[in-house]
Amino acid sequence: KHREDKPFAVMAADLAAARTLCEVDDVASSLLTSPRRPIVLLPRGDPGIGAAPLAAAVAPGNRQLGVMLPYTPLHHLLLRDFGRPVVLTSGNVSDEPIAYQDGDALARLDGIADAFLTHDRPIHIRTDDSVVRPFRGREAVLRRSRGYVPEPLAVASRFGRPVLACGAELKNTFCLGRDDRAFLSHHVGDLENYETLRSFTEGIGHFRRLFDVTPQIVAHDLHADYLSTRYALEQDSCVLAGVQHHHAHIASCLADNGEAGPVIGVAFDGTGYGTDGTIWGGEFLLADLADAERAGHLAGVPMPGGAAAIRQPWRMAAAYLDAAYPGGVPAGLDVAARNSGAWADVLTLARRGVNAPLTSSAGRLFDAVAALLGVRDSINYEGQAAVELEQLTSTSRHDPYPAAITDGQPLTVDGDDLVRAAAEDLLAGVPREVIGARFHQGVAAMIGEACGLLRDRSGLGTVALSGGVFQNLLLLGTVVDLLEGMGFRVLTHSRVPPNDGGISLGQAVVAAARDRAGRLA
């Protein structure tokens, strides 16, 4: 499958078997046994006190495990015959759509599967398993697909005209909106190849027929090269509505909570096209459903090599260290030694701005610290460096690293302060898990300080948190505690993912709000 380090899900026969693998509380139990039967992310049990052993490759270096219970008769028969939990994964090569037709499966999976079990009832629609986790006594959805789709989502404000929202490029979903319902699609995947694009277009056609919706408005991301945007621009008979990526994130969180705003929106993710043509991702917005103002952001740093800096986080460590130490990066940092062959060239790219677009991305900041600490110099799946940094990090309380905030229009946060502090602790021999904790606490403290400044400026007392960075449970819990302690009301996701899987819902409600205001032709 070319899956490499990405964790697998494990299917257990029943709750008792799941409890031999993970810590299962009442909320987790209700999620595991619900008719939706999602994959539930749970803390792993300790093999030293009786937890069942797992192969290291199932979820390498991860304190959590994705567990699910059987949801078809076939699963029950398999689990009965095996007598122990099994790894269950989709029939596809990573980043390709699931093979759901016999001929396609036999051709594409021939080098992967040792055997095929076929049936005389053809599969009608391919769909991934849904992924959820408990968060503060309720369900939080990370991937909304089988079991949840196509159940509509109620929205607080009606759609005046039917809307199709085409979503983002990564973790793509699309959304149809009509009356007071949003029909959010299953997880399509990353729109980076023809097979996934065909799955996207076929899915839209299926949903349009299923729900008898003929869109009059098509909402899309501002990035002109996204395949979802190109699809939207080809819909000649519809009114087009471009929605900035991070505004869509915050609108998605508002819709998830049945609210219209305005709020202070914190949208932290890996990549999103900004209105100034740079790559955003560490954003503080003053937003409602119709509009968003960029009120603050992480200071921009170069991405040396462009997309290569996403695949190789050490490049972001180089860029951040260069910003943190303009007089020269201190000697003794292993990340520079490990990548010495290309280090000088990458710094040259960063300094000259050649193939090094500026980014305010919080995801790239986490990448930089992960590489600095030796967690991950290159990745095998999206977000891997940040995921593994979270798993390394101590959950104990430590003093946060400081990050200076320049009070302007907009606020600017110096993320390189966090990197400098981490580098100095590393050189001083502080354990990596403590550095990770101080970094996470520092990001949370920076969010709290920025939100406090924006409350003073705007009078707003509600904060909405969205974006893939808030899949980090350690960061999310710390930020929510801090903001609530400051007197804020905090909105987080529960019904739709905080990552780009929720973007299409945000696009749909933004387009609808502008349509209600008479701002779309």
Q: Buried b vs exposed e over 179-209: b needs ≥16 C-beta within 10 Å?
A: eebbbbbbbbbbbeeebbbebbeebbeebbe
Task: Tell the burial category of 316 from Cβ atoms under 10 Å away from its Cβ (0-12, 13-18, 19+).
Answer: buried
Q: What is the pLDDT, as a whole number, of residue 409?
A: 92
Contact criterion met (CB below 8 Å) for 424 and 309: no
What does the alpha-carbon distance between residue 342 and residue 349 come to, in Å, rounded to a whole number? Answer: 11
- Of 50-64, 119-133, 293-307, the range with the highest mean pLDDT is 293-307
Question: Which token pair is 88?
Answer: 């269950």
Going from the C-alpha of 28 to that of each of 32, 66, 480, 502, the distances in angstroms are 6, 11, 21, 23
pLDDT of residue 127: 87
What is the pLDDT at residue 125? 82
**Helices in 399-495 by DSSP H: which ranges?**
415-427, 432-458, 473-485
Residues 12-32 have a mean pLDDT of 94
Asked if the peptide bond before residue 150 counts as cis, ω within 30 degrees of 0, the response is yes
Residue 50, pLDDT score: 66
Query: What are 88-98's pLDDT values in tens digits?
Result: 999 988 778 88
Per-residue model confidence as pLDDT tens digits over 428-452: 999 999 999 999 999 999 999 999 9
At 502-517, the pLDDT tens digits run 999 999 999 999 999 9
The type of residue at 424 is E
Q: Is 310 exposed, middle or buried (0-12, 13-18, 19+ CB in 10 A)?
A: buried
pLDDT in tens, 257-277: 999 989 999 999 999 999 999
Q: What is the pLDDT of residues 277-292, one digit of tens each?
A: 999 999 999 999 999 9
pLDDT of residue 56: 86
pLDDT at 195: 83
What is the predicted pLDDT for the residue at 48? 66
Instruction: Give the mean model confidence (pLDDT) for residues 329-357.
Output: 92
Provide the 8-state DSSP code for 47: G
Sign, CA dihedral 316-319-323-326, equals: positive
User: Quick one: CA torsion of 284, 286, 288, 290, rounded to 10 degrees?
Assistant: -90
pLDDT per residue as tens digits for the range 213-255: 999 999 999 999 999 999 999 998 899 999 999 999 999 999 9
Q: Residue range 334-346: average pLDDT? A: 93
Chain-wide mean pLDDT for the chain?
A: 94
Residues ≥6 apart with Cβ < 8 Å to 132 = 31, 38, 39, 40, 41, 139, 140, 141, 142
- The dihedral region occupied by 467, where left means phi > 0, alpha psi between -120 and 50, and beta the remainder, is left
Torsion sign (Cα): 200, 274, 438, 398: negative
Least confident of 194-198, 244-248, 387-391, 477-481: 194-198
Say yes or no to pLDDT of 51 above 90. Answer: no
Give, for 302, the enclosing helix (H) or strand (E): strand 301-302
Which of 44-58, 400-414, 470-484 has the weakest average pLDDT? 44-58
Q: What is the pLDDT of residue 162?
A: 97
The pLDDT score that the predictor gives to residue 221 is 96
**Residue 179 Rama label (left phi>0; alpha psi -120 to 50; beta):** left
Answer whether residue 424 shows pLDDT above 90.
yes
Do the bridges between strand 39-43 and strand 131-135 make them parallel or antiparallel, or are there none, so unpaired?
parallel
Mean pLDDT of 354-374: 95
pLDDT at position 107 is: 92
Say if residues 85 and 11 touch (Cβ distance below 8 Å). Answer: yes
Tokens of 211: 């729900």
